[in-house]
């Protein structure tokens, strides 16, 4: 009997990434052991991890062995707003949250939503995307990379402009019957494909950009907020002032959002209505098989690994999924995986900048350090093993596939736990900051004067 955890690395041209291959074998395992039971176990496992994190942080914060921090009890008393050389706890938290919100709100570019959604529904849809980007920015980087490489390949293969290709990837084109035109199969259809291609090429780029809600003012505000925060961060580091863990985490979010922004530079922002092109498409019995609401586990895995075109049937839906992107070739898949690995490693490396920052307890310091290293090593190790597996065959390939499967299955919960820790700890350490954390930057050092 075939092992349910065996990872098959396909070599066909339409191959997806190694992570997608692992994703399919996990589904095989689910079928082998019982999908309902494992879904329940998966949810309980995540809940248990979250509870353990909060309990551990609470207990460690009460560690009586740790020596008290060398700052006076009235350190917060120096945060008088009338004192130009100090800052308040509120200003620290507000500056970080404003930077994260501004950068994330502008960088996230959702796909075209289903028709007839109300304004609150549209707002909630984008807010959910933004929350995902704040909790797990790596997921949004992977999504943006898939759409970037997919749109670039579409532009080369079908002579679309970059804007037209992105609009195609995000479900911006629909047939007169209201079904999305969003897959290669539709463009390559021997009967309707040539007509669809020509219709998309005839769409004016200005018509697409006119639907985009992105404007110079909102982007300018986000850029200025991010630059101002970064300048303050670097100035505090230069003057050897205490930098809080929340500020370190905010810098990591800002840097990752730069990658998302660059990948989606030509993608229209917050488009609410598609453009009708081409002849009417008639859904037949064999096409009306795609469920509008996939199982939650499938949608969750697709959010991370992407959809495969054979699982998505445009003629049985009215819009593309929230994390839909066109499949790409082998080289672009590898480039996307490499980019995701590098950005994830950079995200963890920035957290390592707080390696020697003063923590309330030694235990919290080591938890931060270990979590930062996990964020760096888990994606990198998976990608390295994938590259090794690709060049092997026979029995050695089977062994390496098994090792890769085990690492993924064990590393994924560790990665989730580390990400949750790096979200919780920056907030808990605000309870006990050293006095130098409230000292503001002396800007007169950088201003020429007599």
What is the tens place of the pLDDT at every residue in 119-178? Answer: 898 888 888 888 888 888 888 898 899 899 999 999 999 999 999 999 999 999 998 888
Is 200's pLDDT higher than 50?
Answer: yes
Per-residue pLDDT band for 23 (boundaries 50, 70, 90) equals very low
3-state SS, the chain, equals: CCCCCCCCCCCCCCCCCHHHHHHHHHHHHHHHHCHHHHHHHHHHHHHHHHHHHHHHHHHHHCCCCCCCCCCCCCHHHHCCCCCCCECCHHHHHHHHHHHHHHHHHHHCCCCCCCCCCCHHHHHHHHHHHHHHHHHCHHHHHHHHHHHHHHHHHHHHHHCCCHHHHHHHHCCCEECCCCCECCCHHHHCCCCCHHHHHHHHHCCCHHHHHHHCCCCHHHHHHHHHHHHHHHHHHHHHHHCCCCCCHHHHHHHHHHHHHHHHHHHCCCCCCCCCCCEECCCCCCCCCCCCCCCCCCCHHHHHHHHHHCCCHHHCCHHHCCCCCCCCCCCCCHHHHHHHHHHHHHHHHHHHHHHHHHCCCCCCCHHHHHHHHHHHHHHHHHHHHHHHHHHHHHCCCHHHHHHHHHHHHHHHHHHHHHHHHHHHHHHHHHHHHHHCCCHHHHECCCHHHCCCCC
pLDDT of residue 390: 64
Report the C-alpha gap between 222 and 227 in whole angstroms.
Answer: 9
pLDDT of residue 156: 92
pLDDT of residue 173: 93
| Residue 56 within a domain | no
Total domain count for the chain? Answer: 1
Is 442's pLDDT higher than 50?
Answer: yes
Is 219's pLDDT higher than 70?
Answer: yes
pTM for the full predicted model: 0.73
Report the C-alpha gap between 110 and 194 in whole angstroms.
Answer: 28
Determine the average pLDDT of the residues in 339-354: 88
Is 253's pLDDT higher than 60?
Answer: yes
Closest C-alpha to 296, from 5, 39, 10, 30: 39
| Residue 403 within a domain | no
Determine the average pLDDT of the residues in 188-197: 89
Per-residue pLDDT band for 389 (boundaries 50, 70, 90) equals low
Of the ranges 41-50, 357-366, 413-422, which one carries the lowest mean pLDDT score? 41-50
Which residue range forms the structural domain that includes residue 148? Answer: 89-357
331 vs 417, higher pLDDT: 417
| Residue 39 within a domain | no
Enter the tokens of residue 441.
């930057």
Determine the average pLDDT of the residues in 91-110: 90
| Residue 263 within a domain | yes
Is 234's pLDDT higher than 70?
Answer: yes
| Residue 249 within a domain | yes
Q: At what angle do helices 193-201 and 137-158 cross, to 10 degrees?
A: 100
| Residue 61 within a domain | no
List all residues 6 or more positions away from 373 whose beta carbon is below 8 Å from its beta carbon: 348, 352
Percent of the chain with pLDDT over 70: 68
Of the ranges 32-46, 259-273, 390-404, 412-426, which one carries the lowest mean pLDDT score? 32-46
323 vs 60, higher pLDDT: 323
| Residue 424 within a domain | no
Per-residue pLDDT band for 247 (boundaries 50, 70, 90) equals very high
List pLDDT tens digits, range 36-93.
433 444 444 444 444 444 444 444 444 433 334 444 444 444 444 445 578 899 999 9
List all residues 6 or more positions away from 13 whose beta carbon is below 8 Å from its beta carbon: 329, 330
| Ramachandran sector of residue 17 (left: φ over 0; alpha: ψ -120 to 50; beta: rest) | beta
Is 95's pLDDT higher than 80?
Answer: yes
Is 286's pLDDT higher than 60?
Answer: no
Judge whether 17 and 305 are in contact, CB under 8 Å.
yes
Is 406's pLDDT higher than 50?
Answer: yes
Is 11's pLDDT higher than 90?
Answer: no
pLDDT of residue 126: 87
Is 100's pLDDT higher than 80?
Answer: yes
Q: Give me the residues paired with residue 174 across strands.
A: 180, 276
Enter the tokens of residue 126.
């984008």
| Residue 5 within a domain | no
Report the C-alpha gap between 40 and 26 in whole angstroms.
Answer: 15
Whole-number mean pLDDT of the chain? 75
Per-residue pLDDT band for 281 (boundaries 50, 70, 90) equals low
Radius of gyration of the chain (CA): 25
């Amino acid at each position: 009997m075939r092992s349910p955890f065996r990872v098959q690395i396909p070599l066909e041209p339409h191959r997806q990434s190694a992570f997608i291959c692992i994703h399919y074998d996990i589904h095989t395992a689910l079928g082998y052991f019982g999908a309902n039971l494992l879904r329940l176990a998966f949810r309980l496992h995540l809940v248990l991890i979250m509870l353990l994190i909060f309990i551990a942080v609470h207990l460690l914060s009460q560690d009586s062995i740790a020596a008290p921090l060398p700052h006076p009890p009235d350190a917060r008393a120096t945060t008088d707003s009338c004192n130009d050389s100090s800052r308040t706890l509120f200003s620290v938290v507000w500056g970080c949250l404003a930077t994260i919100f501004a950068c994330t709100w502008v960088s996230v570019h959702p796909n075209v939503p289903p028709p007839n959604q109300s304004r609150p529904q549209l707002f909630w849809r984008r807010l959910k995307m933004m929350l995902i980007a704040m909790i797990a920015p790596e997921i949004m980087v992977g999504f943006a990379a898939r759409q970037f490489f997919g749109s670039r390949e579409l532009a080369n293969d079908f002579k679309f402009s970059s804007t037209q290709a992105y609009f195609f990837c995000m479900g911006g084109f629909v047939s007169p019957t209201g079904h999305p035109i969003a897959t290669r199969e539709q463009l390559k259809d021997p009967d309707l494909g040539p007509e669809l291609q020509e219709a998309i090429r005839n769409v004016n780029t200005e018509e697409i950009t006119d639907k985009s809600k992105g404007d110079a003012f909102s982007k300018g505000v986000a850029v200025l907020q991010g630059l101002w925060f970064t300048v303050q961060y670097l100035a505090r580091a230069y003057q050897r002032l205490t930098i809080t863990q929340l500020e370190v985490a905010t810098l990591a979010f800002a840097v990752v959002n730069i990658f998302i922004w660059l990948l989606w530079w030509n993608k229209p922002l917050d488009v609410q209505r598609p453009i009708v092109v081409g002849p009417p498409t008639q859904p037949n019995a064999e096409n009306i098989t795609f469920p509008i609401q996939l199982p939650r586990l499938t949608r969750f895995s697709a959010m991370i690994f992407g959809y495969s075109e054979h699982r998505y049937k445009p003629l049985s839906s009215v819009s593309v999924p929230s994390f839909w992107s066109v499949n790409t070739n082998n080289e672009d898949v590898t480039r996307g995986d490499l980019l995701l690995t590098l950005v994830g490693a950079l995200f963890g490396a920035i957290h390592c900048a707080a390696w020697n920052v003063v923590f309330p307890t030694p235990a919290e310091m080591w938890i931060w350090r270990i979590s930062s290293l996990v964020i760096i090593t888990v994606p990198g190790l998976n990608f390295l093993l994938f590259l090794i597996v690709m060049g092997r065959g026979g029995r050695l390939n089977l062994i390496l596939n098994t090792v890769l499967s085990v690492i993924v299955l064990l590393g994924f919960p560790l990665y989730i736990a580390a990400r949750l820790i790096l979200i919780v700890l920056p907030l808990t350490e605000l309870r006990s900051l050293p006095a130098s954390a409230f000292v503001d930057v002396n800007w007169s050092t950088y201003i020429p004067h007599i």
